[in-house]
Amino acid sequence: MTSPIIITGVGKRIGYALAKHFLAQGQQVIGTYRSHYDSIDELNALGATLYPCDFYDDAQVQALIDALTQLPQVRAIIHNASDWLPDNCQRAPSQVLQRMMQVHVSVPYQLNLALEAQLRAAAGDEIGGSDVIHITDYVAEKGSQKHIAYAASKAALHNMTLSFAAKFSPEVKVNSIAPAMILFNTGDDAAYQQKTLAKALLPKEAGNAEIIELVDYLLSSRYVTGRCHNVDGGRQLK
Protein backbone atom coordinates (compact mmCIF):
# COMPACT_ATOMS: atom_id res chain seq x y z
CA MET A 1 0.00 0.00 0.00
CA THR A 2 1.39 3.39 -0.97
CA SER A 3 1.63 6.22 1.54
CA PRO A 4 -1.49 8.39 1.35
CA ILE A 5 -1.92 11.75 -0.30
CA ILE A 6 -3.93 14.13 1.88
CA ILE A 7 -6.11 16.65 0.02
CA THR A 8 -8.13 19.25 1.89
CA GLY A 9 -11.41 20.42 0.39
CA VAL A 10 -12.31 17.49 -1.88
CA GLY A 11 -16.02 18.27 -2.21
CA LYS A 12 -15.84 20.12 -5.50
CA ARG A 13 -13.75 21.67 -8.25
CA ILE A 14 -9.95 21.22 -8.04
CA GLY A 15 -9.92 19.16 -4.85
CA TYR A 16 -12.54 16.76 -6.19
CA ALA A 17 -10.74 16.42 -9.52
CA LEU A 18 -7.40 15.76 -7.83
CA ALA A 19 -8.92 13.13 -5.56
CA LYS A 20 -10.50 11.28 -8.50
CA HIS A 21 -7.24 11.51 -10.46
CA PHE A 22 -5.15 9.90 -7.73
CA LEU A 23 -7.77 7.28 -6.91
CA ALA A 24 -7.81 6.26 -10.58
CA GLN A 25 -4.05 5.70 -10.32
CA GLY A 26 -4.54 3.38 -7.36
CA GLN A 27 -3.18 5.95 -4.93
CA GLN A 28 -4.44 6.03 -1.36
CA VAL A 29 -6.32 9.33 -0.86
CA ILE A 30 -7.37 10.98 2.39
CA GLY A 31 -9.69 13.94 1.91
CA THR A 32 -11.41 16.53 4.05
CA TYR A 33 -14.66 18.32 3.33
CA ARG A 34 -16.85 20.90 5.02
CA SER A 35 -20.13 20.43 3.14
CA HIS A 36 -21.58 17.12 1.97
CA TYR A 37 -22.12 16.94 -1.79
CA ASP A 38 -22.90 13.96 -4.00
CA SER A 39 -19.20 14.00 -4.88
CA ILE A 40 -18.37 12.91 -1.33
CA ASP A 41 -20.44 9.75 -1.75
CA GLU A 42 -18.73 9.12 -5.09
CA LEU A 43 -15.23 9.52 -3.64
CA ASN A 44 -16.14 7.28 -0.73
CA ALA A 45 -17.32 4.58 -3.16
CA LEU A 46 -14.05 4.91 -5.07
CA GLY A 47 -12.09 4.13 -1.91
CA ALA A 48 -11.12 7.49 -0.47
CA THR A 49 -10.87 7.96 3.29
CA LEU A 50 -12.87 11.08 4.07
CA TYR A 51 -13.07 13.29 7.14
CA PRO A 52 -15.79 15.91 7.63
CA CYS A 53 -14.08 18.94 9.13
CA ASP A 54 -15.11 22.57 9.46
CA PHE A 55 -11.81 24.44 9.44
CA TYR A 56 -13.46 27.31 11.32
CA ASP A 57 -14.01 24.99 14.30
CA ASP A 58 -10.80 24.56 16.32
CA ALA A 59 -12.07 21.41 18.02
CA GLN A 60 -12.80 19.74 14.67
CA VAL A 61 -9.38 20.76 13.36
CA GLN A 62 -7.68 19.27 16.40
CA ALA A 63 -9.66 16.04 16.01
CA LEU A 64 -8.52 15.86 12.39
CA ILE A 65 -4.90 16.37 13.41
CA ASP A 66 -5.21 13.70 16.10
CA ALA A 67 -6.49 11.23 13.51
CA LEU A 68 -3.90 12.04 10.85
CA THR A 69 -0.93 11.87 13.19
CA GLN A 70 -1.73 8.19 13.72
CA LEU A 71 -0.56 7.55 10.16
CA PRO A 72 2.96 6.11 9.86
CA GLN A 73 3.71 7.97 6.61
CA VAL A 74 2.26 10.69 4.37
CA ARG A 75 3.33 10.96 0.71
CA ALA A 76 1.95 14.47 0.21
CA ILE A 77 -0.34 17.13 1.60
CA ILE A 78 -2.23 19.29 -0.89
CA HIS A 79 -3.75 22.29 0.87
CA ASN A 80 -6.70 23.05 -1.38
CA ALA A 81 -9.50 23.97 1.07
CA SER A 82 -10.52 27.58 0.57
CA ASP A 83 -13.17 30.20 1.21
CA TRP A 84 -13.74 33.47 -0.63
CA LEU A 85 -15.33 36.07 1.63
CA PRO A 86 -15.61 39.60 0.19
CA ASP A 87 -14.68 42.48 2.47
CA ASN A 88 -18.20 43.93 2.27
CA CYS A 89 -20.02 40.79 3.45
CA GLN A 90 -22.35 40.73 6.45
CA ARG A 91 -19.52 39.98 8.90
CA ALA A 92 -17.39 42.54 10.72
CA PRO A 93 -14.04 43.24 9.01
CA SER A 94 -12.15 41.64 11.88
CA GLN A 95 -14.19 38.46 11.45
CA VAL A 96 -13.60 38.39 7.70
CA LEU A 97 -9.84 38.64 8.17
CA GLN A 98 -9.83 36.09 10.99
CA ARG A 99 -11.80 33.56 8.96
CA MET A 100 -9.63 33.96 5.86
CA MET A 101 -6.46 33.55 7.92
CA GLN A 102 -7.92 30.55 9.73
CA VAL A 103 -8.72 28.45 6.66
CA HIS A 104 -5.82 29.56 4.43
CA VAL A 105 -3.02 29.96 6.96
CA SER A 106 -3.68 28.57 10.44
CA VAL A 107 -4.94 25.13 9.42
CA PRO A 108 -2.20 24.47 6.80
CA TYR A 109 0.38 25.69 9.34
CA GLN A 110 -0.90 23.29 11.99
CA LEU A 111 -1.17 20.32 9.62
CA ASN A 112 2.32 20.83 8.20
CA LEU A 113 3.90 20.99 11.65
CA ALA A 114 1.90 18.04 12.96
CA LEU A 115 2.73 15.77 10.00
CA GLU A 116 6.41 16.63 9.53
CA ALA A 117 7.58 13.24 10.82
CA GLN A 118 5.13 11.37 8.57
CA LEU A 119 6.25 13.33 5.51
CA ARG A 120 9.92 12.67 6.24
CA ALA A 121 9.18 8.99 6.86
CA ALA A 122 7.51 8.66 3.45
CA ALA A 123 10.57 10.18 1.77
CA GLY A 124 12.93 7.73 3.43
CA ASP A 125 16.47 8.44 2.30
CA GLU A 126 15.34 9.96 -0.99
CA ILE A 127 15.98 13.68 -1.38
CA GLY A 128 12.74 15.46 -2.21
CA GLY A 129 10.77 12.23 -1.91
CA SER A 130 7.58 13.68 -0.42
CA ASP A 131 5.66 16.90 -0.89
CA VAL A 132 3.56 19.72 0.47
CA ILE A 133 1.63 21.81 -2.06
CA HIS A 134 -0.20 25.01 -1.11
CA ILE A 135 -2.94 26.13 -3.50
CA THR A 136 -2.76 29.93 -3.28
CA ASP A 137 -4.12 32.46 -5.80
CA TYR A 138 -2.73 34.89 -8.36
CA VAL A 139 -4.13 37.77 -6.27
CA ALA A 140 -1.49 36.97 -3.62
CA GLU A 141 0.88 39.09 -5.73
CA LYS A 142 -1.62 41.42 -7.42
CA GLY A 143 -3.94 42.21 -4.50
CA SER A 144 -7.71 42.63 -4.69
CA GLN A 145 -9.83 45.71 -4.00
CA LYS A 146 -12.91 43.68 -3.03
CA HIS A 147 -11.25 40.67 -1.39
CA ILE A 148 -8.41 42.27 0.57
CA ALA A 149 -8.52 39.79 3.46
CA TYR A 150 -8.69 36.83 1.08
CA ALA A 151 -5.72 38.05 -0.95
CA ALA A 152 -3.68 38.77 2.17
CA SER A 153 -4.33 35.28 3.54
CA LYS A 154 -3.28 33.66 0.28
CA ALA A 155 -0.10 35.77 0.30
CA ALA A 156 0.61 34.49 3.81
CA LEU A 157 0.10 30.92 2.59
CA HIS A 158 2.66 31.52 -0.15
CA ASN A 159 5.11 32.94 2.39
CA MET A 160 4.73 29.75 4.43
CA THR A 161 5.81 27.87 1.30
CA LEU A 162 9.22 29.52 1.59
CA SER A 163 9.59 28.81 5.31
CA PHE A 164 8.43 25.21 5.17
CA ALA A 165 10.56 24.48 2.09
CA ALA A 166 13.63 25.44 4.11
CA LYS A 167 12.46 23.72 7.30
CA PHE A 168 11.47 20.42 5.67
CA SER A 169 14.43 20.07 3.29
CA PRO A 170 15.97 17.94 2.00
CA GLU A 171 13.44 15.11 2.32
CA VAL A 172 10.28 17.12 1.65
CA LYS A 173 9.63 19.55 -1.20
CA VAL A 174 7.23 22.43 -0.54
CA ASN A 175 5.74 24.44 -3.40
CA SER A 176 2.70 26.58 -4.11
CA ILE A 177 0.38 26.83 -7.10
CA ALA A 178 -1.28 30.19 -7.76
CA PRO A 179 -4.24 29.78 -10.12
CA ALA A 180 -6.42 32.52 -11.55
CA MET A 181 -9.75 31.54 -13.15
CA ILE A 182 -9.64 27.78 -13.70
CA LEU A 183 -13.33 26.85 -13.97
CA PHE A 184 -16.47 28.92 -14.31
CA ASN A 185 -19.36 28.24 -11.97
CA THR A 186 -22.70 27.03 -13.31
CA GLY A 187 -24.37 30.37 -12.69
CA ASP A 188 -21.75 32.53 -14.42
CA ASP A 189 -23.48 34.28 -17.32
CA ALA A 190 -21.96 35.01 -20.73
CA ALA A 191 -21.17 38.65 -19.90
CA TYR A 192 -19.26 37.67 -16.77
CA GLN A 193 -17.37 34.95 -18.60
CA GLN A 194 -16.37 37.31 -21.40
CA LYS A 195 -15.18 39.97 -18.93
CA THR A 196 -13.17 37.41 -16.97
CA LEU A 197 -11.54 35.81 -19.99
CA ALA A 198 -10.48 39.23 -21.29
CA LYS A 199 -8.20 39.67 -18.26
CA ALA A 200 -5.73 37.06 -19.54
CA LEU A 201 -3.37 36.88 -22.50
CA LEU A 202 -4.75 33.38 -23.05
CA PRO A 203 -8.53 33.95 -22.94
CA LYS A 204 -9.72 30.44 -22.16
CA GLU A 205 -11.08 28.33 -19.34
CA ALA A 206 -8.02 26.40 -18.18
CA GLY A 207 -9.86 23.43 -16.66
CA ASN A 208 -8.87 21.08 -13.86
CA ALA A 209 -6.42 19.20 -16.08
CA GLU A 210 -4.06 22.18 -16.02
CA ILE A 211 -3.72 21.92 -12.23
CA ILE A 212 -3.64 18.13 -12.18
CA GLU A 213 -0.73 18.02 -14.63
CA LEU A 214 1.20 20.61 -12.61
CA VAL A 215 0.62 18.69 -9.38
CA ASP A 216 1.83 15.50 -11.07
CA TYR A 217 4.97 17.34 -12.20
CA LEU A 218 5.71 18.68 -8.72
CA LEU A 219 5.22 15.26 -7.14
CA SER A 220 7.57 13.64 -9.65
CA SER A 221 10.21 16.39 -9.54
CA ARG A 222 13.24 15.90 -7.33
CA TYR A 223 14.71 19.39 -7.74
CA VAL A 224 11.91 21.96 -7.41
CA THR A 225 11.08 23.38 -4.01
CA GLY A 226 10.20 26.71 -2.43
CA ARG A 227 8.65 28.05 -5.64
CA CYS A 228 5.30 29.51 -6.67
CA HIS A 229 3.90 28.22 -9.95
CA ASN A 230 1.44 30.67 -11.50
CA VAL A 231 -1.43 29.32 -13.58
CA ASP A 232 -3.08 32.54 -14.69
CA GLY A 233 -3.06 32.75 -18.48
CA GLY A 234 -0.59 35.65 -18.42
CA ARG A 235 -2.81 38.01 -16.45
CA GLN A 236 0.16 39.85 -15.00
CA LEU A 237 1.00 41.18 -18.50
CA LYS A 238 -2.41 42.65 -19.29
Q: How many alpha carbons lie under 13 Å from residue 38 in its C-beta half-sphere? A: 0
Report the alpha-carbon distance of residue 236 to residue 238 in Å, rounded.
Answer: 6
Contact between 14 and 135 under an 8 Å Cβ cutoff? The reply is yes
37 noted as active-site residue: no
The catalytic position among 33, 150, 192, 223 is: 150
In the three-class reduction of DSSP (H, G, I as helix; E, B as strand; rest coil), residue 182 is classed as: coil
Amino acid at 53: C
**Long-range contacts made by residues 205-211, C-beta under 8 angstroms, separation at least 24?**
205/181, 206/179, 206/181, 206/182, 206/231, 206/233, 207/182, 207/183, 208/13, 208/14, 208/17, 208/18, 208/182, 208/183, 210/179, 210/182, 211/14, 211/17, 211/18, 211/135, 211/177, 211/179, 211/182
Contact between 229 and 207 under an 8 Å Cβ cutoff? The reply is no
**3-state helix vs strand vs coil in the chain, percent to 5:** 45, 15, 40
Query: How much is the CA Rg of the chain, to the nearest whole Å?
Result: 17
What positions carry a catalytic annotation? 150
